[in-house]
């Protein structure tokens, strides 16, 4: 029997064409998977026929009924592979500072985290928190040039990849991250009978993805997509989503 996947890929400030193509290519390596593709959460009735959900979004805000559908899917045993900006909700004030309102609380609760900011894109080290876990076994610490997501955790999580960061960041209302603490990069979150696997890596941006703020972005950014280890994590994430890991 084929497995049915839902891919939600869309939003703001990222190259969703690139991300969608890459994720679909990885899904296409599974001949037993049939995938439906959406840009947002308006068709979550499709979850009733889905075995698993994959999301790569930024500032895509599910309505209350859409949040309930997502929560119900995971609660009943569904698996949700959430990537990069899925947990982000963004608002800009008159000075251009980014605020991250609690606009979808159940959405954040199911995901287990809420994006609050990131320092400028730069290289940072990612360490394996649980070297024996099948999702990361055999993967060594690696350096990545990506957005380092700083998040408010709203649930107990099982961290698989982490990094260290402390200091202040500019451009975000929540700017003080001086408290020294490991920052989760990839984690599992149990919710009811199901699970969420969240991997915050994978930033990508093309020349026109910052419009209307910036008409022609000066460079193409591919973040962790430039590294084989990220594709290995995605391949394992999809096997996990199918319930085979």
Which pLDDT tens digit goes with each residue over 165-216?
999 999 999 999 999 889 999 999 999 999 999 999 999 999 998 898 888 8
Mean pLDDT, range 233-242, rounded to an integer: 98
Q: Which pLDDT score is estimated for 214?
A: 84
pLDDT digits (tens, 9 = 90+) for 99-113: 999 999 999 999 999
Of 151, 142, 76, 85, nearest in space to 113 by CA: 151
| Residue 64 confidence class, pLDDT cut points 50, 70, 90 | very high
Average model confidence (pLDDT) for the chain? Answer: 96
Query: Given this model, what pLDDT does residue 144 score?
Result: 98
How far is it, in rounded angstroms, from Cα 173 to Cα 86? 19
Query: Class for domain 3-241, per CATH?
Result: alpha beta
Residue 47: band (very low, low, confident or very high) from pLDDT cuts 50, 70, 90: very high
pTM listed for this prediction: 0.97
The residues, ordered by sequence, that sit 6+ positions from 162 with a Cβ below 8 Å of its Cβ are 126, 127, 129, 182, 183, 184, 185
Looking at the predicted structure, is the pLDDT value of residue 93 above 90? yes
Quick one: pLDDT at residue 212? 87
Query: Stretch 9-30: mean pLDDT, rounded?
Result: 98
CB 69 within 8 A of CB 6: no
| Domain range annotation of the chain | 3-241
Tracing tokens 């000075």 back to the chain, one arrives at: 95
The whole-number pLDDT of residue 181 equals: 87
Structure tokens belonging to residue 149: 């997501």
Q: Which of 99, 109, 84, 111 is nearest to 11 (CA)?
A: 84
């Amino acid at each position: 029997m084929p497995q049915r996947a839902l891919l939600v890929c869309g939003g703001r400030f990222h190259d969703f064409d690139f991300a969608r193509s890459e994720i679909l290519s990885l899904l296409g390596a599974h001949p037993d998977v049939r995938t439906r593709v959406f840009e947002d959460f308006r068709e979550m009735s499709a979850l009733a026929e889905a075995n698993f959900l994959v999301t790569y979004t930024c500032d895509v805000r599910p309505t209350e009924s859409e949040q309930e559908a997502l929560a119900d899917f995971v609660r009943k045993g569904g698996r949700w592979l959430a990537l990069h900006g899925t947990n982000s909700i963004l608002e800009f004030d008159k000075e251009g500072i980014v605020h991250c309102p609690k606009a979808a609380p159940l959405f954040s609760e199911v995901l287990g985290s809420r994006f609050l900011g990131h320092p400028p894109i730069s290289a940072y080290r990612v360490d394996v928190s649980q070297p024996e876990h099948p999702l990361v076994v055999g993967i060594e610490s690696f350096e990545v040039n990506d957005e380092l997501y700083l998040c408010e955790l709203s649930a107990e999580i099982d961290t698989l990849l982490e990094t260290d960061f402390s200091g202040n960041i500019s451009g975000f209302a929540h700017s003080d991250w001086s408290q020294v603490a490991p920052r989760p990069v990839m984690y599992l979150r149990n919710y009811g009978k199901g699970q969420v696997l969240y991997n915050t890596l994978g930033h990508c941006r093309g020349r026109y993805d910052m419009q209307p703020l910036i008409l022609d972005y000066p460079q193409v950014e591919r973040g962790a997509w430039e590294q084989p280890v990220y594709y290995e994590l995605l391949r394992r994430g999809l096997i996990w989503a199918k319930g085979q890991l």
